[in-house]
Every structure is written in structure tokens, then in C-alpha cells.
Amino acid sequence: MECASCGADLDANDRYCPACRMPNMQGSRHPRFGPAEVDPGPAIAPRVPLAGERPCPRCRGGVHLRDHYCRSCGLDVSQLAPPPPLSRGGGVWTTPSPFTVDSYRPLSRLSLVIQCLVGVFTLVALVIVGLSLVLWRTLGETSIPTLGLPSVDADWVMLDQWVRRLAIAEAVLVGVICVLTIAWTRRGYRNLGCLGVTGRRLAPFWATFGWLVPGVNLIVPKLVVDDIWRASDADVASGSSRWRSTAVPTANHMWWITTIVALPTAALALATFLTTGDRPVDLAEIHATQGSLLVLAVAEMLVVFAAVLFNRTVSSVTERQRARAARLGPAARPWLPTPEPEPVIAPLPSTAKGPVLLHSAGTGAGAGRY
């Protein structure tokens, strides 16, 4: 008898082919089939929370420090116990450590000064917007028969002088804010090493000089600020580079793009307007001045928008570093071996007079002294 599938030799008593396991339906013993196999379904691997995360009581998914609801099942986790420490060897170095020459210094004071100056700058920009619109409307109401009037207008001169003063104040505020922002970026980027962050893409050198090199200052400062925001996450374990895969908020991108577009545009519009000393009397001058005033108002509004977003970024980074420092806690000092005590040489007994013979081969009464 041959197998109908593979042609192997079969006996009449064989229920299955020993070569291919084909049922032998022609044999004297019919094959025996067991119950149908139950589909076990897809295997689901258990969820393991990452370092620094809390397990969700319902789905066992990872819950971050600032989460109010579970990202996987939506459970309210605001009342969960605080998460365990990130790592036993991690901590914040408030003094130079064996691993870095820097020490952690909070950004709160410097951030507060920057936010106050940005607030004053925002008010100045809003006043310039109002004055620009008033002057723009004044020129729009000028009719053709009145163009022969004298070019000196008391109201125009007063408003023009206010715009000049505010432009100077705005330029001074921009310079001071730029200097403080460079110091803030340098301090925040150097704090990362003290907060147990590894895998920084740029050297600390670029946190300062990246703002000063033309062309480079359009890209590098944004990368530095983004890395500061990502790496200051309190949920990332000490020594982990997982922070590099974190997405940056849209507000951080909008702040940078708006600043690059708004500041040069406002500067050019102010320069164009301030070159006109008196009120324009020619129709072409009126149209040119109206255009520069309208551009100035729009540019100053963009500057205000950029200032609000910049304040939000500064506040967010400061809070994230503060939360990470509080989460890590102070770093433990490295163990130093205790120096061995020096051997103490006992003084000679006070009863000994003269040299004492410690060993003598001789015997008798004279043995022991010489």
C-alpha cells in the first residue's frame, strides 16, 4: 500500500503515513481526529513601566509624573502615590561633582527678570502699535486740497517724538533681553549635566556663542533651547537619553519663527518712518508713510505675539528643571576610603637606663646588658 500523498510504503494497520503524516483512509484502521484546536488569539506582552513611571492600576501602563489621566485607559491617576526615585545613583549636584565642573543653579531668578523685561517690552510695543494706527488714520483722512498746508503739525510732531522715544526704549530693552537670554540659555544648558542628562547633541560652547555667530544664530540657539526643554523632563531617568525622542511643543516653534520674522520687519519699518522728519505733504510721501506705518503696526503685533510665546517657553523650561531637580533630590557624595591610621611607636620604659641588649647568645650573670 502506498501513501496517496508522498508514495511511501504503508501497512494496512497504519492510521497515518510515517513520512508525511497524511491520514491513511484506505487502511483497516481509520485515523482518529481529536477535537478542533482553539485559536489562542494574539499574544499580548505585559506592559512594563519605564524607569521613573508609575504603573496604572487598571491597565498597568506607564503614568508620567504630571499626568492626571492614564494615556492608555483614561483612568484618573491624580491621586496615585508619588513615583519611586529615578535611580539610586542619580541626584542633583549643587557643587562641582566628580563628573562635571558645573553645579546646578536654578533659573527662577533669571527667568523672573527676563519675564518682567519682556512684559515692559510688550507694553512699549503695544503703545507703538496704537500710535502707528493713529498716525496712519490721520494721514488717511487728509484730502487733496489740504496738501498745501504747512508741513509742520503740532499733533504730528508730538506723536512723532513719542514714537522716536519709544523706539529707543524698545531697542534698549531688546539689547538687555538678548544679553539675559544668552545667559539664561547658557545656564539652562549647563544645568543639564548636573541633572543627570546624557546624550547632549551640542557642546556647552554653542549655548553661548551660537547666538553671536551670524547665520549660525538662526538655527543653533533654537536647537539648544529645544534640547533644554526636552532634557528637563522630570519623567526621564537619570543617565537616560530617551529625552531626545520627545516632541517639542508648537509654541516653541512659533516663538522662534515669529521672532525671526517680526523683529527685522519692525526695525526696517521704524527706520523708514523715522527718516521722515515732518508731516508728509506730497501724495506719494503720504502713501509711502502710510505703508510704513501699517507695516510697523503689523510687525509690532507680531513682536507682541512672539514675546508672549517666549515668556511661555521660559516659564515652561524653568518649571521643568525645577520639577526634575525636586524629583532627583540631592546627589550622594562618592564614597571615599578611610585612611589607615599611622602606627604608633610606644616610648621606652622610664626605668630603662642605658642601652638594652634584646638578644644575646651568652649566658651567665653578664647576659642582658653591655
Question: Residue 364 falls within a domain, yes or no?
Answer: no
Whether residue 23 sits in one domain with residue 142: no
Stated pTM of the model = 0.64
Between CA 30 and CA 41, with CA 35 as vertex, the angle to 5 degrees is 140
> What range does the domain containing 64 cover?
53-84
Q: What is the pLDDT of residue 144?
A: 41
Whether residue 291 sits in one domain with residue 169: yes
Domain count, the chain: 3
pLDDT tens-digit map of 185-243: 999 998 887 787 888 888 888 888 999 988 888 999 999 999 999 988 888 777 777 88
Q: What is the pLDDT of residue 335?
A: 43
Choose among 267, 293, 280: nearest CA to 137. Answer: 293
Whether residue 219 sits in one domain with residue 156: yes
Rounded CA-CA distance 84/65 in Å is 10
More confident residue, 268 or 18: 268
Instruction: Give me the DSSP letters along 226-290.
Output: HHHHHHT-TTSPTT--GGGGPPPPHHHHHHHHHHHHHHHHHHHHHHHHHT--S---SHHHHHHHH
Which band of pLDDT confidence, cut at 50, 70 and 90, is reported for residue 143? very low
Reported for 333-336, long-range contacts at CB under 8 A and 24+ positions apart, including other chains, are: 334/98
Does residue 166 carry a pLDDT above 60?
yes
More confident residue, 242 or 295: 295
Rounded CA-CA distance 328/326 in Å is 6
Whether residue 9 sits in one domain with residue 57: no
Question: Residue 172 falls within a domain, yes or no?
Answer: yes
Between CA 181 and CA 308, with CA 194 as vertex, the angle to 5 degrees is 30
Whether residue 63 sits in one domain with residue 1: no
Question: Residue 126 falls within a domain, yes or no?
Answer: yes
Whether residue 20 sits in one domain with residue 154: no
Rounded CA-CA distance 199/220 in Å is 17
Whether residue 251 sits in one domain with residue 150: yes
Q: Give me the percent of the chain exceeding a pLDDT of 90.
A: 22
Question: Residue 345 falls within a domain, yes or no?
Answer: no
Which band of pLDDT confidence, cut at 50, 70 and 90, is reported for residue 64? confident
